Structure 1
Amino acid sequence: MNQRISTPTGEFTAFRQLLSATPRGARLARRLALHQLDAWGFPHGGDVSDAAALIVAELAANAITHGRVAGRDFELRLTRREPNTLRIEVADARGDRLPRCRSGGAEDDAGRGLCLVAALATAWGVTERKVGKAVWAELAV
């Protein structure tokens, strides 16, 4: 279900999409985010678009890897907060598995995604939900 929330003037300020908790769903989350950002005036290849794409990719990958529950989707939400903040949220069904930034050794193949998110975002965190959790990151735009 794609939901766009608009202001009284009709300008879209939020985007919400449920996606399958699969690698294909994670790839689609990134593509949909890039498309929405372009519609909001942040073109492909720009600093905001590139940073947001990486954040969405990392959060979606974590949702399908660590937050997956069989038969449950994950949610992507993008929100423009005036005057200059973009909030990216990815929610999954596993509230018992909280994310953390781990800086591993040079040989580690995994565990640094949230460190990248933390480096790109002005703030990031986790919000508990009735079912699961939402991991969010904010970017200055």
Structure 2
Amino acid sequence: MTHHQIIGEAKRPPTPALQLTLRFSSSRRGARLARQLAVQQFTEWTGLPYDSDPARTIALVTAELASNAVRHGSLPGRDFRLTLLLLPDRFRVEVTDTRPERLPPPVPPQPADETSGRGLLLVQAYADRWGYTVRDAYTKTVWVEVQLRTTTS
């Protein structure tokens, strides 16, 4: 079972310069810790400040992917996995959960009065590329790539 969906440019990431993979409990606390770790690792690897636009983007997209893994992709007693990759020109965040049958939906515009369901709209707005991969019958990985660029105003 292999299924891929890529939003954005369709090419596989090159070999990462640096990579880190950790498991987190499928809980709100686990999602929060994943976001904090992603930003900390991003700033350490890139040298960009914690309050830079790329670091804020990493915080936002990691929070959304981890939250979705906890809310929509978990089975009792199963963790989710966070993988961070520093690529030559971008940073990649991958969140792997245990519900491959629950694929991210297409991202339609949400009615203004909805109080939830806007997370993937944010991911689409902030990520340079994103998508998902199902490689087996037990897991799926939702990933986001953010270009490493800084803008000065």
Instruction: Pick the TM interval, shorter chain.
Output: 0.7 to 0.9
1:104 aligns with 2:104: no
- CA shift, 1:68, in A, is 0.9
1:75 aligns with 2:81: yes
Which amino acid in the other structure matches residue 55 of structure 2?
A: S
Specify the alignment match of 2:58 in structure 1: 52
Q: How many residues matched?
A: 131
Q: Which 5+ residue runs of structure 2 have no aligned equivalent?
A: 1-14, 149-153
Distance of 2:108 and 2:33 partners within structure 1: 26
- CA shift, 1:42, in A, is 2.5
Identity between Structure 1 and Structure 2 (%): 44
1:137 aligns with 2:131: no
Specify the alignment match of 1:20 in structure 2: 25
The 10-residue stretch of structure 1 (47-56 or 123-132) with the greater mean CA deviation from structure 2: 123-132
Specify the alignment match of 1:64 in structure 2: 70
Secondary structure of 1:108 counterpart = coil
Which amino acid in the other structure matches residue 100 of structure 2?
A: G
- CA shift, 1:47, in A, is 1.0
Q: Which 5+ residue runs of structure 1 have no aligned equivalent?
A: 1-6
TM-score, L = length of structure 2 = 0.81
- CA shift, 1:35, in A, is 1.1
1:116 aligns with 2:122: yes
Larger RCO: Structure 1 or Structure 2 (Cα < 8 Å, ≥ 6 residues apart)?
2
TM-score, L = length of structure 1 = 0.88
TM-superposition CA deviations, 1:35-69 (whole Å, max 9, x none): 11121112211111000000000000100000011
TM-superposition CA deviations, 1:79-136 (whole Å, max 9, x none): 0111x11111111000000012243211111111011101111111001132210000
CA RMSD across the alignment: 1.6
